[in-house]
Amino acid sequence: MGETVIEKIIRNNVGHAVKPGDIVTVNVDRVMIHDIFIPFVADKFEEMGFKKLWDPDKVVLIYDHLVPASQLDDTRHFHTGDAFAEKYGMKNVHRSDGICHQLMTEAGYVKPGNIVFGTDSHTTTYGCVGAFSSGIGYTEMASILGTGTMWIKVPETIKVVIEGELPENVMSKDVILRLIGDLGADGATYRALEFTGSAVKNMSVASRMTMSNMAIEAGAKCALFTPDEKTAEYCEIELNDFQKSLVGDEDAKYIKTVTYRAEDLVPVMACPSQVDKIRDVSTLEGTEIDQVFIGSCTNGRLEDLAAAAEVLKGKKVADYVKLIVTPASRKIYRQAIELGILDTLAEAGAMITHPGCGLCCGRAGGILTDGESVVATNNRNFLGRMGTSKVEIYLASPKTAAACAIAGKIVSPK
Residues in binding site:
297, 357, 360
Distance CA 10, CA 266 (A): 36
Beta strands 373-376; 392-395: pairing state: parallel
**Under a CB-based contact definition with an 8 Å cutoff, are residues 381 and 396 in contact?**
no
Q: Find the Cα–Cα–Cα–Cα dihedral 10, 12, 15, 20, rounded to 10°.
A: 30
pLDDT average per 10 residues of sequence, the chain (414 residues): 96 98 98 97 98 98 93 93 98 96 98 98 98 98 98 98 97 98 98 98 98 98 98 98 98 98 98 97 98 98 98 98 98 98 98 93 87 97 94 98 98 92
pLDDT of res. 1 = 83
Query: What is the location of CATH 3.30.499.10 in the chain?
Result: 5-262, 270-407
Those residues whose C-beta lies under 8 Å from the C-beta of residue 173, and which sit 6 or more positions away, are: 210, 214, 298, 299, 377, 395, 396, 397, 398
pLDDT of res. 37 = 97
Those residues whose C-beta lies under 8 Å from the C-beta of residue 326, and which sit 6 or more positions away, are: 293, 294, 295, 296, 300, 352, 353, 354, 355, 356, 358, 359, 360, 365
Residues in binding site for [4Fe-4S] cluster:
297, 357, 360
Does the bond joining 68 to the residue before it have cis omega, within 30 degrees of 0? yes
Which of 118, 121, 141 has its CA nearest to residue 44?
Answer: 141
**CATH class as words, domain 5-262:** alpha beta
Residue type, 1: M
Backbone angles phi, psi at 361, to 5 degrees: -100, 10
pLDDT of res. 69 = 87
Residue 286, judged by CB atoms within 10 A of its CB (0-12, 13-18, 19+), counts as exposed
In the 8-state DSSP scheme, what is residue 184? -
pLDDT of res. 365 = 78
State which fold the 270-407 domain adopts. Aconitase; domain 3 (3.30.499)
pTM of the model: 0.97
**Under a CB-based contact definition with an 8 Å cutoff, are residues 215 and 183 in contact?**
no
Backbone angles phi, psi at 176, to 5 degrees: -70, -35
